[in-house]
Amino acid sequence: MRSMKKWVVILLALAFALSVTFAFAAEKKASQWFVVQDSKGVCKVIQSSKDKTPKSIAGPFATKEGAAKAKAEKCPPKDKKKK
């Protein structure tokens, strides 16, 4: 009986350790930031879980601030002509 309780405790500890590991891995994967450009030339900073997006022009970045800096470099604001 005592051996059975020991195995149950070990299995529960193993299940907990695996679920924590996968949760952290999923969180790290989801926290990638990219700079993307649409067909009209508008640049945006997006968060994606993919390694690369089809319209990405910069990234992946660990922080949104890093992606915003890259957006400022890759997609400078266009000068508007005065009327």
d(CA 37, CA 14): 44
Sequence-ordered list of residues with C-beta below 8 angstroms from that of 83, at least 6 positions apart, any chain: none
Range in 13-22, 36-45, 50-59 the model is least confident about: 50-59
The pLDDT of 39-54, averaged and rounded, is 81
The Cα–Cα gap between 80 and 37 comes to 19
pLDDT band at 30 (very low <50, low <70, confident <90, very high): low
**pLDDT (average), residues 23-43:** 79
Average pLDDT over the chain, rounded to an integer? 82
Would you call the peptide bond into 60 cis, given omega within 30 degrees of 0 as the criterion? yes
- Asked if 58 and 45 touch (Cβ cutoff 8 Å), the reply is no
Model confidence, pTM: 0.55
Confidence class for position 27, pLDDT limits 50, 70, 90? low
Using an 8 Å Cβ cutoff, are 61 and 67 in contact? yes
Tokens 């508007």, located at residue: 80
